[in-house]
Structure formats: structure tokens, C-alpha cells
Amino acid sequence: MTTAVVPSSPLPSLEDRHMYYILTDDFPYGSKLFQAGSMCFLKEKTYLHSIACVGTSTQYLRVTMLDDNSIVTVKAEILHPLPEEEAVFLLAINTLSERLNCFLDRHSLEEAVKATVGQQVTVDLNQQLFTGTIRYIGKISKNSSSSPHSPSYFGVELQGGGEGRGHCDGTYNGSEYFKCKQNHGLFLPVNKIKFIPVLDCDSMKEEPQPDVDEIVPVKVGDTVGFYLDEVFRQGVAMDVHKEGTQWFVKVCPEEEGTTDVFREIPMDSVVKEGLLSSEFEPDMAPGSLRQIKRERSESGEDLESGKHSLDVNSVVQITLDKGNSVTGIIRWLGYLPNIKHRMAGVELDQEKGITDGEWQGMRYFHCPPKRGLFVKLQSCQPDMRFQSVSITPLDASTSGEIDGPQVLANSPLENGAAVQVLQGRMRGIQGHCNSCYMDAALFSLFSCTSVLDSMLFKPSLPPSGHVQKILRDEIVNPLRRNGFVAASSVMHLREQLTEKGQCSSFTTSEKDPEEFLNLIMHHILGIEPLLKLQSGGQKEQECYYYQIFIDKQEDLVVPNVQQLVEHSFLSSSLKLVEIPSCFIIQMPRFGKEYKMFSKIIPSLELDITDLLLDSPRECFVCGDIATQECSECFRDAVFADMGMKQYCNSCCRQVHSHYRRKTHRPTTLHVPEAFQVRSQMGSPRIPRERMELFAVLCIETSHYVSFVKYGPEKENWMFFDSMADRHGDENGYNIPIVKLCPEVAKYLQLPGAALAMEQPRDMEGVAKRLFCDAYMYMYQSKKMSLYK
């Protein structure tokens, strides 16, 4: 096997030597913000000169940032010096937070500097660990020879279960750095590698290592059989150690689970799994191997069915001793050294574990001490608290209808709980293969509101019940409890929609949120339409969302949602037949690309009082019961730019006595009988019907994102993007992000004229996307959702 190493080069002169630093804290500089983890350098000669001028170490250093080559003056106290041999490895890590974490983990960097070609390592591929061998260490860019700041990578040849999971044969950008089979090679940054220490050859010579397989027949991870209280049991060897001249095995019995309840068994009293045979079974009473096998088969532990749905971030329960169980979240899946079963690293809800994510000195995930547990994946069961209660299947011949499953659903997240559960990287719903339209819609509808939870509870007949179960158990409940939904769960739903919707492209192609909502609400689940509309006394129309259609209005430069809805309803002579529990409104556009308005102001409350059919309304002038409505007055520039124009009889005569409005033709309003009586007794106060905004879907260059209102304060906004970042290339995965965006409140408080003058590129944070890219607004009536 041909290998390569970094060619040696003459030592640079003082003029050419650089000093490298990493920022340990965020540092604002003008309009820029250099985040912790950013790296910079300055020439050693410049540094020595600055010290000579001041006499002591200066408080500020003028450095060159490696991200954009800008020259910046930075506080010395947040600059940590780096040896060049460490700096080149850190430069290969693109994500600043991961780079900083790697820097803080001194052991990993020190191992990288000492690493040699031919050394064994484990590599992190899609949250699974595989073994490999280092074949190359160094720079891989085409111009690496001319750039002193090029990052260094590890060229690794994958072995064992990782074979065929690589991306190359040792060649990168046409240059060969080492040789291996196609798709067996990878070039990786230091944070994706775990180094297996190289044994000291001298110490091996002084103290020859015994052949463990000959002297010690059982190794850590082996499944063994043993007798305990005269009952034959099975378990996993967690440790093998010697006390004096006798070997002992620390065993975790399978029925007790991998906890701090271990059994110390003498080596000569255990039998390795490979040596167990049917000869043991005839002599064993209850609790025998045969009984254990039957119980495990009945419990489904040996079956693969049902396990495929468990993934990283799945909520699981594990049975421990005496039937007790613990719950937790899967943080890692893969294979541990010398263990043939697929294992799960679980972070428990309570301190009943034995680790903080390490196994035999190797870290596989992070969690608090005594909260981590490594168990066979087949020992994990979905947390029954978040599964539908099983019901006995009914024969169609004996029952005309099937009751829907009872569901213990999680409550929507609000206020501090929403921040704690949802905020961060790898939070929200993970995007995959053009799924952003569905990711953004589901996050908007279910993360912080229960207005459409009827979709999860509604009794359903097969096959729609299967879709409902996926939506409830694989998406909504995990989102509300863990703050994360894996791409596989959404793909499972998309596959079902493809089948039910007779659309072969639902799993691959871009779609629109309204297409998805109409399919799942109407064609799949068959829930009652959200809106009932009537136009000009015609027959009622039912729909699930409302598309705004209006002509270009010269006076509407930066409109708010209230204005757009009122203009649209008036132009189409529409009325709401009843108060909706959920009002989904699609903004006006000329096609997907062209926006009718450069900005739209979110109306945090939508007043629908005057949009309701046959509902009592208030006179626009005096506040008495309105009896007449005038659509032409609505467009009159003399009046307010929003609010429907209706009058009592007296005010209507007075308003239309003006010569400019004598040609108007007001229409008569229906006044409920109870309000006619109250009107004769005095001026009754008309109740206002308002709906509150809970989410906004936005689109920019065919990519959908979501803004969600998670609390009552104006600053309580969070932003969700299912594909905000990515790990790896075509074999990698998307990283969803949920982050708070309180800056939205600043722009909501601006007058319309001031907001119109704001340049989108200058708007803080992600506010520009909310105001400039709004596609669909979602409003709720918590009062009506109690009845629907």
C-alpha cells in the first residue's frame, strides 16, 4: 500500500514565521461579529516589535482573520495562542463551535499532533463509528504549497463495517495522496477522528503481553451464560479483571439491563455465548436458557420488526431489574469494539446509568455523569408514554366503525419550555431531499400551538389511521418532547402521502405547503374544512386555507395582514360564515417568484368582527349598532386606511350627504334580533372577534423557513430552518436550526413609513426574511379551538 506524508520543508525565517490564535469569545468589530472559534494570525516579527515598543504585553493585537483576510484589532485576553502544528488541524474544522470544542479538548489535539501514518483510528460517519487506518496526514488543496495557512486533513482507509462507505480511492481534486479501493477512502478533519493509542514497542518487549484468547476466554462485550442462585442466566461481560491469581468477569444480567447492578462472577463459572449449546437446556428448570429465549422472543427483543423506527434522538424505555424501567433518549447508534450487536448509547432521564458517554476510554456521546448507558438496540423499546394505547382489532363484519386510538399526546411548547426544548442546532425537523415545504409547515402547525391537534386525535379508519399515527408518534410527539425529528420520520410520512396521494414525486420533488396541507387534511385525514365562506349570498364554500387576491393598490406600499385580508374580502364580496379556529392565509403573489409587495407587516392580531356574515357590527362613526355597509367608502381616501366601513342609519345618511359620496350604494346588514332589542334600550357594546398570529411561513429562492410566536411578548419569536447547515457532501445530512429572533419586535414597532425605508440587507438577524419573504400567515382562535 502506497502511503504519503507531508514533505519536509526548511524552517521559515523570523520574517516569514506566523503566530496563530483562536478567539475564545465573540468579538464585535464595526458591523462584523467574529465568533468564538474564529482563527487569526500575525507575523512573529510584528508581535515582537509591538512588545518592544510598549515594553510589556499589549492589551490589543492587530491580527489578520483567516476567515476573510480582514485586519482587525482584537483584545489580547480573548486570543489564545496556538502552535502551528495544532492550528493547521483546527483550520480544517468549518463549524466554529465544533472548532472551539476541539481546541478545548486538549487530548484530541495532542493525539492529532502525535498521529502517524499506519495508525488505527475510529471515524465518525453519520453518527456511527467505524474503524480505519491513517494513510495520509497533511494538506490537500491544490494550492497548498503556496498558502501557508492551508488546513491539514487525515486521509483514512476505512475497514470492517465501514468498507464502501467512503468517498474516494485516496485521490482528491485529481491529486493522489494515498491508494485504496474505490469508496474506501476519506479525507477528514480532526474532530471526526478518534485516535487509538499506539502501543509502546519497548514496553512490549520488557513485559510480553499474553495471548488473551488463550488465557482469558471471555472478553468485554461477550454474551455469557452463568449460574446465579441456582438459576442459569445470560448477560454481557462489562469488564474482565484479575484479583491476585484469579480472573473475574463483571456481568450485567440481561434481565437487569446495563446499569450499576453488576454481578462479579469467577471466570471458571461463566460460559461464552459461542460455547452455549442445546445440551444445557434439558437440565434447566424455569429461568433456563430455553425459557429466556422464549421470553425474549415473545417480548420481541430478537425480532428486527419495529426496531428500524428507532433512531438517534428517539425516546425509549429500557427494562431493568425486577421489572423496573428507565426512560431516555438515544444519543448514538453503532457498533462497539468486540461487540457484534448494534448498540445504542442512551442518555437517561435519571441518574441510573454508569457513564457520561464514554466506553473503554472512547467517547461516543456527551451526557451528565451516571446518565449514560450502552445497551443492545434490540433491548430498547419506544417510550410507551408517547405511543397510542393499543386496541383490539375489530372485524369489519362485526363492527360498522372503529373507534380511534386513545392518545397521550404532548402539550405544545410555550414560553421558557419552547426555548429550552427547541432552541439550538439539530433542533426542529431535519430536512432531506426537498422536504422544506413540509418541515416548515409541520413545525409551524404543531410546535407551539394545539389548534390543529384534532388531526392527531380524530378517529380514523385505515389506511388514513396509519398516516395519522406517523404524524402523531413519529413527528409531533418527538418534536414537542425532544425538540428534534429525524429526516427518516418525515420521509416515512412522505412515502405514505405518495401512496395515498397518487403522486410519485412527493418523496423527491419540491412542493408547496398548501398542496401538502390540502392533501393531508382533506384527502387523507378528512378533517372538517377550516373555513366556511360565502360570496354575495351564494352557496357556502369550504376550504382549508385562504388565498388573497387583490389588484395592485397604489396606497398600499407596506401593508399589514389586516389590510390585505379586508381588501381581498371586499373585492370578492366574501364573508366568513363562522369564526374559524384556525385561519391560514396565503399572501398575494404573481407566481412563486414575484412578490406583489416588497414588505408585509405581520398583524399580531387579526380582527375578523367585520368579516363575519350576519354578525352584529359597530357603526364606524358613533359606535352604535351598524345597519348599513358601504364598500365604496372603504376605498375613500378620506377615511382610515383599514377597517370595514359600516354605519347606523343616522350616520349613513350624514356620511352620504356629501356630494362626493351621494352615488355610493350601501348594502343593508342583518342585525340579530337580540341586538335590535338591546339597541332600543341603549347602545350595546359590540364584542370584537380577534385571532392571534402563531406562525409565518416564508419562502426565498424556493426554500421555505418558518417563524413561530412562542409566547405573549413581542420579542417571543423563533426562527426555524430545516436545512440551515449541512454535514458532509452527498452522503452527509442536513442540520436543522431553531434560533430566537427577538429583533423582530424592533421592526414591528416602527411606523409603516419608517419600515418602508429600511433596506432589507441592513435589517438585523433574520428579520428581513419575515417582513420581505412572507408566504403564509397562520392565525388561531383559542376560544374556538375548544369546540372544533
Cβ neighbours for 377, distance < 8 A, ≥ 6 positions apart: 307, 310, 333, 341, 342, 343, 344
Q: Is 703 marked active-site?
A: yes
Neighbours of 762 (CB within 10 A): 8
State which H helix or E strand residue 290 sits in: helix 289-299
Instruction: Considering the candidates 522, 664, 703, 727, report the single residue annotated as catalytic.
Output: 703
Let me know: does 467 contact 495? Beta carbons within 8 Å: no
Q: Starting at the edge strand that comes first in sequence, how are the strands of the sheet with 531-535 ordered?
A: 541-543, 531-535, 574-576
The sheet carrying 628-629 orders its strands as 646-647, 628-629, 667-668
Q: Could you tell me which of 743, 735, 736 has the C-alpha nearest to residue 717?
A: 743
| Dihedral pair phi/psi, residue 9, rounded to 5° | -140, 150
Helices 106-114 and 96-104, packing angle to 10 deg: 80
DSSP 8-state code for residue 612: B
Residue 565: closest CA among 548, 579, 583: 548
Residues 351-357: contacts with CB under 8 Å, at least 24 apart:
352/259, 352/260, 352/320, 352/326, 353/259, 353/260, 354/258, 354/259, 354/260, 357/331, 357/332
Instruction: Give CA 516 to chain center in angstroms.
Output: 20
Bridge partner list, 186: 156
Residue among 102, 180, 380, 436 flagged as catalytic: 436
Strand order in the sheet with 185-188: 185-188, 153-158, 128-138, 120-125, 193-195
| φ/ψ of residue 580, rounded to 5 | -80, 150
| Angle between helices 487-501 and 436-446 in degrees, nearest 10 | 100
Give me the DSSP letters along 395-452. -TTT-S--PPPP--PPPPP-HHHHHHHH-EET-EE---SS-HHHHHHHHHHHSS--TT
Asked if residue 592 lies in contact with residue 636, where contact means CB atoms within 8 angstroms, the answer is no
Active site residue 633: no
What grid cell was written down for 233? Answer: 442466566
The grid coordinates listed for 648 are 347606523
Nearest to 654 by CA among 626, 689, 621, 699: 621
Which residues in 478-516 are b (16+ Cβ under 10 Å) and which e? bbbbbbbbbbebbbbbbebbeebbeeeebbeeebbbbeb
> Which is nearest to 478 in space by CA: 420, 433, 421?
421
Cβ neighbours of 320 (radius 10 Å):
17
Half-sphere exposure of 477 (CA within 13 A, CB side): 23
Whether residue 25 contacts residue 36, with contact meaning beta carbons closer than 8 Å, is answered with yes
Q: Name the 3-class secondary structure at 73.
A: strand
Q: By the 8 A CB rule, do 365 and 331 touch? A: yes
Give me the active site residues, please: 436, 703
